[in-house]
With several copies, the nearest count.
Chain A
Amino acid sequence: MDEIDMDNEDEKKSSDQDKKFLNPTPMLDELEEGPWPSFITGIKELAERTKKPMLRGVMDQLEYSYQTRMGYWKGGLVMVRGYGSGVISRRTMIKDKIPEAAEFHTFRVQPAPALHYSTKMLRDLCDTWEKYGSGLITLHGQTGDIMLQGIEESKIQECFDAINQAGWDLGGAGPAMRTGVSCVGPARCENACYDTLKLHYRVLKYFTEDVHRPQYLYKFKFKFSGCPNDCSNSIFRSDLAVIGLWRDSIQMDSTEVLDWIEKNGTDSLVNNVINRCPTRAISLEHGEMVIDNKNCVRCMHCLNVMPRALSPGRERGVTVLVGGKNILKVGAMGCTMVVPFFKMDADEDVDKFIELCESIIDWWNDNGFEKERIGETIERVGLKQFLTGVGLEASVDMVAKPRSNPYYKSKY
């Protein structure tokens, strides 16, 4: 290849470029290589098809970010009528450089629990969004929202009215109740110990007012998992984790156990099941598998390995944990168990649960500081004080071990 050829190449490229709606984005283009689906390819395709200047602006700014290794969005306040949150406002800091990136606001929209869709729902949403917004959608945000990314302030109310009319509502932002997350649960999973979708739906519906109008000390997140596998990542990522479990014995289908052993061998039973039980609650007796259910901590492991042979017991419900969050300021915190078992069969159980949640949130708003997550409040004020405040029984289930220091005020 000689120099002249190269020049030709360049010319060819730039003349190709001329036909393109988008400006060159050499760094971003490198993200089009490789087998994993490329978000850059997606945005480029969308931009070239729709010719929306906002998308060109966003690509220009993103390229500039890649080149300078800095971000250029700033936040602000954009709202739909009557709401105090749900729209994340983004305006460029470098409007003089990239005027097309002037506005890039985002709707956080609450999907159906466990992220189920009919194609009709989704297609309608796409159409509306393409009409008013950029056509770019995040499925889904880490807090479980559909994020409709990129709209101008002037179109926000109209767009919202349209999606709201189609059955959608906004999710949380700011010091408010946030959108919930639930695992697929009873919809498709044999491990579900309660109806995660229904509870998610009922609870978040109940707190809708607090989702839309931030009036808490800080954010508050629910996550719902049907069993301790915790597919919704509730322990470190929600303020209130609802995890399904059972109180009686693991259900065992002896024929299936023998089948399993026949297929996988006794060695595998010992190495992959018995030896992995955290409390050594399983033993091998005369070639058979015996579970000491009093000693089982409902970790799910043996059920996971032998899903045909073992299932959760019949007396099902949830355990309630409070106070998880990630790293900011104090370091990550795991939710702490505060109700070992809560029945969740009837509608009244759900009502009672919602009552409990209300008193937990009230206690927090009464006892917490501004910008303090409930886990931080409990750490500062004390778990005992929390339990007393909310009216919960203390139990040894709530601790890994009783205290090792005598530094407490006794009541007697």
Chain B
Amino acid sequence: MNVKRTWKTVESGPRDYQEALHPVVKKNYGKWKYHELPKPGILKHVAESGDTLFTVRAGTPRQDSVDLIRRLCDIADKYADGYLRFTVRNNVEFMTPDEENVELMVKELEAIGLPVGGVGPCVSSVAHTQGWLHCDIPATDGSGVVKSIMDSLYDDFKNWQMPSKVRLSTSCCAINCGGQADIAIVVKHTRPPRVNHEIIANTCELPKAVACCPVAAIRPTVVNNKQSVMVDHKKCMYCGACFGACPAIEINHPEHSKIGVWVGGKNSNARSKPSLGSLVAHNLPNNPPRWPEVNEVIRKILTAFKKEGRPWERLGEWIDRVGWKHFFEETDLIFEKDMIDSYRHARTTFNQSAHVRF
């Protein structure tokens, strides 16, 4: 790096938010009274002062070009006083005190290809990870899966057809950077990792590779007179922790890295406590560019939920009410032995009662 430096780094941490707030937000900061959802994609917030603020929310591809971002800025400059924000789900939001701006913005957003929606009882954008585009350990592509799914759920994003909020996530490896969600789509490996003994002999501290495995399946060994490691196939449960930790270990496989679907994850504390998702489909092929098998499973789940869920009832709460047996029947998915927990606190998930539905 031989560029001449003209600027001394300022370790400022998070960007200051004062200059980023819309004036109506600033004025009524902490003094909001209530909100309404006038129609899909639109929020209306009313402040104690009587001020009203409309929000228009739209979906984005998340992997944005500066071109798209500039277009968003154009819209914000035109209708939202030069401010905009993003949600934790990659949606963009424009706020305005002027009701007439709302429809104009909706039009312009749709014109540049961004659907307005994601507010209220609908499917919002998918929590989203890197995949083949950028990550160093992905078995599939985050953005591609999301695009394929959201094409199918386009109407469910734009309209109120769901009993309540439906939140999705995708993750391109078993680590699940996408997080718990009503429906989570996550890579599931089905074979133990392979060791490249050449690389390990050259680059790796052996203890690290050995220490990273939660079930002690990695053991030091000697290959061609060189120190290396081996994977005990009996113990390994295909978690992939070693893969991220050691460059000589590879677990991804074009055929054997499959996709699993998990339902009933919930982060909010509304009504029921937050809960982890449960595995309901696995062994789905990793099938780019459109992942039809995954899409089909999601369709089945959401069709059943749409039909039976009650207002304010989240997907997992619906299943709690009707029972897992009914869920599998209604969605046409198949409960398999592997879906019985076998990991650390497995016993606490068993049916330790005579309660049973027939």
Inter-chain contact B61/A34, CB cutoff 8 Å: no
- Cα of A359 to Cα of B129 in the assembled complex, Å: 32
- Chain A positions within 8 Å of B176 at CB level: 326-328, 332
Given contacts A42-B63, A66-B141, contact A396 B335 (CB under 8 A): yes
Inter-chain contact B114/A37, CB cutoff 8 Å: yes
Picked from A36, A65, A81, A204, the residue with its CB within 8 Å of the CB of B13 is A204
Most buried by B among A237, A388, A399: A399
- Cα of A304 to Cα of B214 in the assembled complex, Å: 41
Chain B residue nearest to A75 in the complex (CB): B136
Shortest Cβ gap from A410 to chain B (Å): 4
A190 at the interface (CB under 8 A from B): yes
B283 at the interface (CB under 8 A from A): yes
B76 at the interface (CB under 8 A from A): yes
- Cα of A379 to Cα of B279 in the assembled complex, Å: 20
Chain B residue nearest to A25 in the complex (CB): B289
Task: Write out, one digit per residue, whether chain B residues 236-249 have a CB within 8 A of any chain A CB (1) or not (0).
Answer: 11110100010100
Chain B residue nearest to A170 in the complex (CB): B11
A and B contact pairs by CB, cutoff 8 A, 29 listed: A31-B289, A36-B150, A39-B143, A69-B288, A70-B252, A70-B254, A71-B139, A74-B136, A122-B69, A123-B73, A126-B66, A137-B65, A161-B6, A161-B7, A169-B13, A179-B14, A207-B13, A233-B88, A294-B358, A311-B34, A328-B176, A331-B343, A334-B276, A384-B340, A401-B324, A402-B339, A409-B236, A410-B258, A410-B283
Inter-chain contact A337/B356, CB cutoff 8 Å: yes
Picked from B13, B68, B190, B344, the residue with its CB within 8 Å of the CB of A110 is B13
Shortest Cβ gap from A324 to chain B (Å): 8
A45 at the interface (CB under 8 A from B): yes
Task: Write out, one digit per residue, whether chain B residues 301-319 have a CB within 8 A of any chain A CB (1) or not (0).
Answer: 0000000001110000000
If over half of B's interface residues share one DSSP class (helix, strand or loop), that class is named, otherwise mixed; here it is loop
Inter-chain contact B65/A136, CB cutoff 8 Å: yes
- Cα of A190 to Cα of B151 in the assembled complex, Å: 33
Inter-chain contact B62/A39, CB cutoff 8 Å: yes
- Cα of A180 to Cα of B326 in the assembled complex, Å: 35
Inter-chain contact B136/A90, CB cutoff 8 Å: yes
- Cα of A301 to Cα of B114 in the assembled complex, Å: 31
B12 at the interface (CB under 8 A from A): yes
Q: How large is the interface on B (under 10, 10 to 19, 20 to 34, 35 or more residues)?
A: 35 or more
A188 at the interface (CB under 8 A from B): yes
Shortest Cβ gap from A173 to chain B (Å): 12
Additional A-B contact list (12), CB under 8 Å, known A333-B347, A396-B339: A34-B147, A42-B65, A116-B17, A126-B66, A126-B70, A271-B310, A297-B356, A300-B268, A308-B34, A394-B339, A403-B278, A403-B349
Shortest Cβ gap from A149 to chain B (Å): 6
Interface size on A, residues (CB 8 A): 177
A200 at the interface (CB under 8 A from B): yes
Given contacts A336-B351, A407-B239, A407-B343, contact A188 B15 (CB under 8 A): no
Inter-chain contact B274/A188, CB cutoff 8 Å: no
Given contacts A164-B9, A192-B30, contact A319 B356 (CB under 8 A): yes
Picked from A119, A334, A407, the residue with its CB within 8 Å of the CB of B73 is A119
Which A residues from 77 to 133 make CB contacts under 8 A with B? 80-82, 88, 90, 104, 106, 110-123, 126-127, 129-130
- Cα of A27 to Cα of B148 in the assembled complex, Å: 13
Chain B residue nearest to A158 in the complex (CB): B3
Task: Write out, one digit per residue, whether chain B residues 337-357 have a CB within 8 A of any chain A CB (1) or not (0).
Answer: 111111111110111111111
